Amino acid sequence: MNLAVVRERLDYQSLLLGVVVMVTCALLALAYQLTREPIQQALADDMRQSFSQVLPDHLYDNDLLDHAGQIEAPWGPLTYYQASLAGDVSAVVFPMRASGYAGKIEMLVAIKANGELSGVRVLVHQETPGLGDKIEVARDPWITYFTGKSLHDPLPSGWAVKKDGGEFDQFTGATITPRAIVAEIKRALLFFEAEQPTLLYPVRLPDAVGSVPAQQGVEDHD
């Protein structure tokens, strides 16, 4: 086989490979375009469902995803969502992350404009089944007992589990998990109290965050 034939075959193979790569890239781009909107819609619907668990309907008449803002928290950038009723901000919702027994505990905290908790829900966790998983509302009503609480009821000194001298129940055989949840909710309330002027200032629609951002993390703490 002479050199010219070899070169011809190599050129053909390179051209074929190039065509395959271009077709593959085009198909991937098409698939992305076709699935992007449904995925974003599914994420948005999931977030709205989560909001409904911590905010009763009578507290807001807006779409929280259209009223999202960014603020610098002590642990880093944080996305928060404003609930409003008849044009007035009635509550804010934002994610928090506690350090549990088996890993991170992703939470959603809703605080009314008067500083009272509207609701708290655990979204993701890896706590021990039958013990720490009682933080799930589907398994135990424990997490619902925070509704209506504030830094005045109880006072900050009472924001701990009873084993630590506070006012909140722990789980038999699993103190670390509820301790982490109580501490994180207290931190959310303290943050809200310190940042009320920003958190309760109406987010302008042109600056609203239209997509669903990833939940912001919180640094580890004891």
User: Residue written as tokens 């309907």?
Assistant: 57
pLDDT at residue 126, as a whole number = 92
At 55, list the tokens. 């905010």
pLDDT at residue 205, as a whole number = 65
Provide the whole-model pTM.
0.75
Question: Could you tell me if 177 and 100 are in contact, meaning their C-beta atoms sit under 8 angstroms apart?
Answer: yes
User: Residue written as tokens 């490979």?
Assistant: 17
Written as one string, the DSSP assignment of 80-103 is EEEEEETTEEEEEEEEEEEE-SSS
Q: Enumerate residue ranges in the chain where pLDDT < 70.
A: 1-21, 23, 26-44, 205-222
CA angle 116, 197, 218 (to 5 degrees): 70
At 177, list the tokens. 């998990």
At 198, list the tokens. 């920003």
pLDDT at residue 203, as a whole number = 87
pLDDT digits (tens, 9 = 90+) for 100-126: 999 999 999 999 999 999 999 999 999
Residues 6+ apart with CB under 8 A from 124: 104, 105, 106
pLDDT at residue 22, as a whole number = 74
**Burial degree of 108 (CB within 10 A; 0-12, 13-18, 19+):** buried
Residues 6+ apart with CB under 8 A from 62: 82, 83, 84, 85
DSSP state of 70: E
